Amino acid sequence: MRFAIAGAGVAGSYLGNMLQRRGHEVQVFESSRPENHWPVCAWGASRHMLSKFSEKAGLDFKDYIMHIGQRLRMDLPAGKVEYLDLKGLVTYDKHRWEHDLMQGLEIKYGTKVTKEDFPFEKYDHVLDCTGLHRTLLPKSGEDFLIPAYEYLLEEVKGENEFYTIGYKGAKGYFWYFPLGDGKGYMGAGDVEKKYHGIKEFFEQHPEAKIVKKIGRPIRLAPPKKMEPFFDGNVVGVGESIGCVFPMLGEGIIPSLLCCDFFLDALDDRKGLDAKKYRKKVLSYFDYYDDVYRIVRLKMDGKLSTIRHANLLMSMYRHMKKEESRFGFEVSLEKMNRLVNAL
């Protein structure tokens, strides 16, 4: 079968690798040029999950790890501080990882796929892996994005661990993710575009050297809010259909899980079982809708730990069950303190 993949990010690179392994003809279309192609996000995720996906794709994830986290510090409103023990959260060389996934693939860089001029009829399936842009699918009326930007830094001194600042009302958060050897990603996502912590970080670290500045909104709307997943022979995969954990804005592992759901629903001769794929995505990510409701209620100042106890317990149970997927401890006591502090 012939596949076109729009977007050479985490979903596009992984799917391209896996489809080619299954004997399909694959072409990847990436709008940026090779010298400008850069994986956004802070490059942090669970080593337990990424090791499994890497192994399927013929890579050894140990070769890409940059920093193994031990403890995450969260600064909260009113001077409160919380710590989470990390259970596999790492930063990794996402740029090289995605590049190595696409070894041997036909990649057309500098080519923007559009609804108007792309030869859809030449392919059995065209996969929209354009993430935030959702270039080939109809726009969702329930989409929700948070403005964000971050810096890739070098020569940072004294910051050797994961660090975040939670904003009042869950309006967003600041992050610093270490990459080792004084390098790190520092940034913030904030509904109100105040980005508290960025200016303060530079004041505390005048030695920090800016390598890149990246501006990119973060999608928080879950799959249930991001239908349709299909348009003709176009199929959305990953962040383009809302596979992002709403509380954290983290889309690496959800996108890869979505890729596997696509591969499971794909018959190598008959094509995609669209109903099976849609059902699996909506079923697995169903609780993301509860998490999203918690975030929106908190943003609107309407979250009650009593009235919305069922929503909060749903989030806790699912996260606790998937502790290794997140890479950090999931504690009901700490979660309640966090929710109340924000």
193-218 pLDDT per residue, tens: 999 999 999 999 999 999 999 999 99
Fold of 2-341: FAD/NAD(P)-binding domain (3.50.50)
Describe the crossing of helices 47-56 and 252-264 by its angle, rounded to 10 degrees: 40
∠ CA 132-130-2, nearest 5°, is: 160
Each residue's pLDDT expressed in tens, for the chain with a length of 342 residues: 999 999 999 999 999 999 999 999 999 999 999 888 898 899 999 999 999 999 999 999 999 999 999 999 999 999 999 999 999 999 999 999 999 999 999 999 999 899 998 999 999 999 999 999 999 999 999 999 999 999 999 999 999 999 999 999 999 999 999 999 999 999 999 999 999 999 999 999 999 999 999 999 999 999 999 999 999 999 999 999 999 999 999 999 999 999 999 999 999 999 999 999 999 999 999 999 999 999 999 999 999 999 999 999 999 999 999 999 999 999 999 999 999 999
| Residue-range domain boundaries for the chain | 2-341
Confirm if 172 and 220 have CB atoms less than 8 A apart.
no
3-state secondary structure of 261: helix
All residues at 6 or more sequence positions from 330 whose CB lies less than 8 Å from its CB, including other chains: 316, 319, 320, 323
Phi, psi (rounded to 5 degrees) for 198: -70, -55
Which tens digit of pLDDT belongs to each residue from 57-111?
999 999 999 999 999 999 999 999 999 999 999 999 999 999 999 999 999 999 9
160: left (phi over 0), alpha (psi -120 to 50) or beta: alpha
